[in-house]
């Protein structure tokens, strides 16, 4: 401190603090040699508290108001300084101004994923983030436990510690709550309130009050998100039988000719088989196995089918299909004779008796 600071410090008798930083929790009022004149005017503004410290020991705490410093409003300091009979000379004491306003929009978030066991997805990794609000509840305890001898204490000086407390308790609560991953979004408010109730005592031990804790988002890994998207898509389809019938009917307006009609027949058969598979499983998450190849044969210039390879074998045995019969299957450009279709020709070879 320079010469002029010393001179002005001896004449200044107004003690106050205007916070221009917006992030300061505690500010120590600077005076030369910490000397305060008897009768000095102390202004403590709204949402402030002034804490007097004498030789490292916290004495008096004054709330909002204008004070003339004397033995009446500094009873503890008076006792410590042995001013029982009054005094009129400068005295030494440190004055800390505590900012009691609400500090809002403080961020918290998980650095590493939280691993929990979900009934539907098994082991799942979650990330979460949100905001919280605090204020100084007990200025004396806050200075004793946290501030110490710092001349200025900002919110950044303690935010990491508070964030770690929140994340630790949040992880424990979410892991033990047994809430399905799909239901977490519907329980943000309840989770926030529960976490707040669990950690408010830890904040109180620092002289702080946790006013509000909000969970803004709980996210799952991309693979789980993809699975959820697929499940949502299946749910949007609704009645699968009606959906497939509609899709096949749509193709009617774009089709024509025998081969297209045969293709539509295959489409209806596939739709029917798919919907039955879903009915049997009765599970929206079930995906049926790929469909087997289906065949048609021509009878009196009309397509008959569809039939799988085993059914075609039975029809050949009955004599309804011979090697010259016209047949068609998915993937074929046009109708062909049965003997020209490799897998059908094999059936004829199997059914032909060996020579004597």
- Give the pLDDT confidence score for residue 7 in this predicted structure: 42
**Nearest-angstrom CA–CA distance, 193 and 117:** 23
Alpha helix segments (H runs only) across the chain: 3-11, 75-81, 139-142, 156-177, 188-204, 222-237, 240-252, 258-281, 309-318, 342-351
Alpha helix segments (H runs only) across 120-187: 139-142, 156-177
- Give the pLDDT confidence score for residue 242 in this predicted structure: 57
**What is the rounded end-to-end Cα distance, in angstroms, of the chain?**
124
H or E stretch at 349: helix 342-351
The strand pair at 24-29 and 35-36 is best described as unpaired
Q: What is the pLDDT of residues 203-241, one digit of tens each?
A: 999 999 999 899 998 887 777 677 667 666 666 555 555
Q: At what angle do helices 258-281 and 240-252 cross, to 10 degrees?
A: 170
Q: How many helices and strands (H and E) does the chain possess?
A: 10, 18
H or E stretch at 278: helix 258-281
CB 91 within 8 A of CB 81: yes
- Give the pLDDT confidence score for residue 220 in this predicted structure: 77
- Give the pLDDT confidence score for residue 108 in this predicted structure: 92
Beta strands in 141-259 (DSSP E): 152-154, 208-219
Structure tokens at 48: 């402030």
Mark the ranges of the chain whose per-residue pLDDT is less than 50.
Answer: 1, 3-4, 6-11, 85, 255-259, 261-262, 278, 280-290
Structure tokens at 245: 């019938």
Q: Which residues pair with 336 in a beta bridge?
A: 327
Structure tokens at 287: 């995906």
**Nearest-angstrom CA–CA distance, 96 and 82:** 22
CB 25 within 8 A of CB 162: no
Cis peptide before 306 (omega within 30 of 0): yes
Q: What backbone torsions phi and psi does residue 130 show, to the nearest 5 degrees?
A: 180, -160
Q: What is the pLDDT of residues 327-336, one digit of tens each?
A: 988 778 889 9
- In sign, the C-alpha dihedral spanning 241, 245, 248, 250 is negative
The contacts of residue 139 (CB under 8 Å, 6+ apart) are 49, 51, 61, 96, 98, 100, 207
By three-state DSSP, how is residue 69 classified? coil
Alpha helix segments (H runs only) across 25-155: 75-81, 139-142
In 3D space, the residue among 68, 75, 79 whose CA is nearest the CA of residue 36 turns out to be 68
In 3D space, the residue among 178, 181, 169 whose CA is nearest the CA of residue 130 turns out to be 169
């Amino acid at each position: 401190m320079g010469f002029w600071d010393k001179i002005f410090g001896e004449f200044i008798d107004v003690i106050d603090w205007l916070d221009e930083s917006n992030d300061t929790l505690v500010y120590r009022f600077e005076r030369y040699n910490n000397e305060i004149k008897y009768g000095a005017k102390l202004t403590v503004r709204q949402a402030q508290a002034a804490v007097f410290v004498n030789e490292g020991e916290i004495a008096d705490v004054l709330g909002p108001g204008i004070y003339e410093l004397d033995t009446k409003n500094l009873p503890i300091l008076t006792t410590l300084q042995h001013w029982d009979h009054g005094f009129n000379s400068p005295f030494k004491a440190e004055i800390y101004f505590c900012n009691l306003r609400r500090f809002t929009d403080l961020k918290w978030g998980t650095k590493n994923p939280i691993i929990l066991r979900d009934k539907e997805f098994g082991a799942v990794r979650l990330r979460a983030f949100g905001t919280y609000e605090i204020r100084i509840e007990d200025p004396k305890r806050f200075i004793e436990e946290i501030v110490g001898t710092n001349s200025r204490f900002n919110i950044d000086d303690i935010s990491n510690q508070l964030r770690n407390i929140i994340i630790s308790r949040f992880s424990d609560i979410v892991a033990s709550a047994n809430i399905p991953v799909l239901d977490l979004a519907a329980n943000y408010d309840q989770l926030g309130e529960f976490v707040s109730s669990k950690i408010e005592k830890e904040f109180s031990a620092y002289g702080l009050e946790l006013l509000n804790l909000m969970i803004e988002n709980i996210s799952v890994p991309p693979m789980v998100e993809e699975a959820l998207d697929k499940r949502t898509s299946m749910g949007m389809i609704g009645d699968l039988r009606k959906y497939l019938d509609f899709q096949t009917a749509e193709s009617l307006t774009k089709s024509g000719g025998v081969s297209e009609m045969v293709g539509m027949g295959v489409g209806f058969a596939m739709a029917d088989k798919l919907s039955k598979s879903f009915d049997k499983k009765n599970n929206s998450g079930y995906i049926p196995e790929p469909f087997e190849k289906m065949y048609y044969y021509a009878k009196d210039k009309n397509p008959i089918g569809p039939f799988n390879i085993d059914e075609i074998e039975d029809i050949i045995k009955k004599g309804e299909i011979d090697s010259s019969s016209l047949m068609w299957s998915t993937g074929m450009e046009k109708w062909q004779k049965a003997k020209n279709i490799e897998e059908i020709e094999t059936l004829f070879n199997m059914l032909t008796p060996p020579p004597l």
